Structure 1
Amino acid sequence: MSRLCSLLLLLICWLTSCHPAVGDSTPKSQRETVTSLLRTLLRSVKVGDFNPNPNVHIALRLARDHNLETEELLLMQLKEASVRKVLNSENFSSGLVALYTLAVKASCNDPINVTANGTTIDLIGILQEKLTQEIKHIEATGFPLSNYYQVSLDMLALCVMNSHVSPCSVRILTRAVDEEQFTHGSEFSVDTGSVAALALRCVKQAGTIQNTVNIEDALRKVLTQILEHVKDDGLIGNLYSTGEAMQVDNLTLPETSTTLAPVTSAVPIRVEYNIEDGVNHTFSDAVNVTVPRGSRLIQVLEETQRLYPVRFSFDVTMTLWGPSLTIVRGLSSSNQDRTYWQLLNGSRPLDQGIGDYRPQNGEHIFARLTHY
């Protein structure tokens, strides 16, 4: 699933005065594409889904056209999943709580009273506690329990719902801007900076923080960093971060054709796939594989594993945005050690995940265990 979470940020202009439906300002030339995406989102909602996607619900609520039956089913699943995660102490990171909170609010329901299977939970209270834990972890270790994207999203969600955002958390976020903590690998993270800017601007406009000088300085700095990543083709950072960044700078993309070039899937391509332990330096290996043109990166990994089951074994974790590479040759990424499997085309980090990226003939793809 592509990074639909950028859509949720559009809620800030109408969320506090909830509307049953949202208007549509999509240019006529792009409506066919939007309608196709909407159908894809609707088909992704399945009866009995154990882990529903709050981003999908938010996107459906933002659409011009609505399938109320499907939206009601997804809302029920989100309520049931949130209650289950709390009762069973399942993984429920702060950013995910923020997404669930916004999704419930998007249907004009009260996130303070979320009821499912006879149990009621307070998502706002849980989110405030999660953010407090993030701030305490930053103060103790210098980095969040999750990451600054989620911390920023937590603050933004609380702010747009007129809930308390502590001066301490604002100070932590402005300090992170000042110390240039919004990085992914060695690169500035446009999506993190964009959400942080939206959160800081919301807090500033709310008027609950007396000294706004640091907020204004942080906003100027992060906006400058975002603008430095505007590319000639109109993208800001990459495909996924552009939607979020546009909402900070009020930018619009040039209108482009939505006609897709034909793909000849029968034609094979050759891809070099490399794996490296860039942290412990225990292995470095490479192999050339042949796959049909148009194959996604995960299909390249599957082919290498088929040919070499041990050397190129891998595993993925399903996330809200699709499969994420987490284990290569038995070596797992670790939040505790702050490591992840970075994907690159040569020396250039990929702007899509293994479920979306389509390598071209002759590319050199790297999976490298890296610190963040």
Structure 2
Amino acid sequence: MQPGVLLLLMSYMGVPLLAHKLNHEKAIVALNSLLLRSTRTFPPNPSVHIALRLSEKHNLHEEQNYLHRLKTDLRRILSRAEQGTRPFTGLVALHLLALRASCQDLQEKRQALLYLKKKLSAERNHTIYHQVPLTNYYQYSLGVLALCVNDIRIDHSVLSGLVPHDHHHHHHHSADTSAMVVLALKCVQESTVPGRDVWMYSTERRLKAQQAVNKLMEKIQRWWKSNGEVGNIYSTPLVLQALLATGDTERWLKGKINLLNKSKQGAFQNPMALSQLLPVLYRKTYLDIGQMDCRSKSDELRWVDLEPQEPETRSQSGFVYISVKGKNLVTTYTTRVPLLNQMSLLDVLQAASRNDTNFTFETEQTLWGPFLTSVNHVPGQDDTNTYWRLISGAHTPLIEGIQDYFPKPGEHILLQLSSF
């Protein structure tokens, strides 16, 4: 074949590929703008700031304003933490990652670092006596990752809590927890002493971390679905970070394309979910935070104003049926709620409690939005390992939160007290 013909053929073949790539880039920048817009409409969330900092496109003015709000929020969290007994391991860890992603100095981070070191010791002690951490392995490993990325040497006993001699507890990890443990251990394994070209941890410690990473990655690969998901679409972004961190770019790419397609169908409207997705679309992981120097950053990202929407007339489109079941699986309550268009499950529950004084529920604000904590004065409790599970129809668990899920006319939603 003539070289000219070959070149011509290659250029024709490249056009769809290039268009495909540009199309992907455009979609990713649109998600980046969407996340930037959420900084004005949702409470401050360190995970959102981390994602904006790990992006390739920036709006430095908006990011600076957001960082200021996060610092105010962190001071409030730390003063609450000193007064109460409730641990904020994961939340403070995310704030420390956000501060490092903006290259804040040690003085800005000191109080949070001291708090997190203390809490990780408490997590470890709880693991020794109760076989589970004070919070959970997700927060424990996120705490280790946050100290590690901030170049803080982590206590031997705290690390051994993540890498036990037997690997019993790793069998029970969910997909996103397994991924977070991998990121924490990978960070430990690759840590060098600041300013010196020597490893921070001993060869034995690094080898143990590598062995634990290998076991967890084997498990993640067994869970891998052919469509590029592990667990569900909301746990997959962290799994893709673990795949990137361990060099499995083939699976990462397949997962990335699947999640990008899902995002085009509107699956990632929740800012927390979007903040976990965006880094892997840019081929970044939380480990990259430790290498950020914050000097050369583009400043061209604009937050797009949404077209002003005509207020819809709230017309009724049918009913939603709500049932409540206790742990003994006996139905304790049922009701029927008129469904108006664009009603979230939270709206439906609020309507049910307005219509009937026999139905009450309570929520707690989390980074993912409101979380259902109590129904008809029965709370889900950590000490009894119970929570309120949301089920659609006969047996489809909801993966969205109550603010993000929009029931359909005629749908049956079950609130069931379940064990974890």
- Could you tell me the TM-score, scaled by structure 2's length? 0.69
Determine what percentage of the aligned residue pairs are the same residue: 32
Code of the residue aligned with 1:166 in structure 2: it is: D
Larger Rg: 2
Instruction: Choose the corresponding residue for 1:194, options 169, 179, 184.
Output: 179
C-alpha deviation, 1:245, in angstroms: 0.4
Residue 79 (structure 1) shift = 1.8
RMSD (Å) for aligned C-alpha atoms = 3.1
Give secondary structure in 1 for the equivalent of 2:119. Answer: helix
Which residue number corresponds to residue 89 of structure 2? 94
> Shift of residue 300 of structure 1?
2.6
Comparing both structures, which one devotes a greater share of its residues to helix? 2
Structure 1 residue 294: deviation in Å?
5.0
Q: Does 1:300 align with 2:292?
A: no
Q: C-alpha offsets along residues 257-300 of structure 1, whole Å, 9 cap, x if unaligned? A: 86549xxx967254332222217x78633334342455322223
Partner Cα distance (1:61, 1:109) in 2? 13
Aligned to 1:274: 323
The unaligned stretches of length 5 or more in structure 1 are: 1-25, 116-120
Q: 1:181 to 1:222 in 2, by over 3 A?
A: closer
CA distance 1:133–1:190, shift in 2 (3 Å): same
State the distance in 1 between where 2:93 and 2:331 align: 39
2:250 matches 1:203: no
Residue of structure 2 equivalent to 1:324:
371
| AA in 1 matched with 2:406 | R
Mapped contact 1:293–1:360 kept (Cα < 8 A): no
User: Partner residue of 1:123?
Assistant: 112
CA contact (8 A) 1:95 1:154 kept: yes
Q: Which amino acid aligns with 2:350?
A: E
What's the CA shift for 1:308? 2.3
Q: How many angstroms does 1:305 deviate by?
A: 2.2
- The answer for the alignment partner of 1:228 in structure 2 is 222
Deviations 1:145-176 (A, max 9, x none): 21111001111122222212223222222339
Higher relative contact order (CA 8 A, sep 6+): 2
Distance in 1 between residues matched to 2:165 and 2:389, nearest whole Å:
23
State the partner residue of 2:419: 371
Matched, 1:338 2:385: yes
Code of the residue aligned with 1:330 in structure 2: it is: H
**Structure 2: segments with no counterpart, 5+ residues:** 1-19, 192-198, 245-251, 267-313
* 2:148/2:187 contact within 8 Å kept: yes
Alpha-carbon offset, residue 340 of structure 1: 1.9
Of 287, 291, 307, the match for 2:335: 287
Amino acid at match of 1:317: E
Kindly indicate whether the alpha-carbon contact (under 8 Å) linking 1:135 and 1:172 is maintained by their aligned counterparts in 2. yes
- Which residue is 1:159 aligned to? 148
Aligned position for 2:62: 70
Larger strand share, 1 or 2: 1
Residue 237 of structure 1: CA displacement?
0.9
Q: Structure 1 residues 332 and 257 mapped into 2: Cα distance closer, same or farther (>3 Å)?
A: closer
Are residue 54 (structure 1) and residue 46 (structure 2) matched?
yes
CA distance in 2, matches of 1:176, 1:284: 45
Tell me: CA distance 1:205–1:322, structure 2 relative to 1, closer, same or farther (3 Å): same
Q: Show the counterpart of 1:172.
A: 161
Judged with a 3 Å threshold, the aligned counterparts in structure 2 of structure 1 residues 259 and 136 are, in CA distance, closer, same or farther, namely closer
Name the structure 2 match of 1:353. Answer: 401
Give the secondary structure class of the aligned counterpart of 1:244.
helix
For structure 1, which segment, 282-291 or 317-326, has the greater mean C-alpha deviation from structure 2 after superposition?
282-291
Contact in 2 for aligned 1:344/1:367 (Cα 8 Å): yes
Which amino acid counterpart does residue 321 of structure 2 have in structure 1? E
Give 1:8's aligned residue: none
Query: Following TM superposition, by how much is the alpha carbon of 1:361 offset from its aligned partner in structure 2, in angstroms?
Result: 4.5
Taking structure 1 as reference, are residues 35 and 165 closer, same or farther at Cα in structure 2, changes over 3 Å only? same
**Structure 2 residue aligned with 1:309:** 357
Shift of 1:213: 5.2
SS for the counterpart of 2:235 is: helix
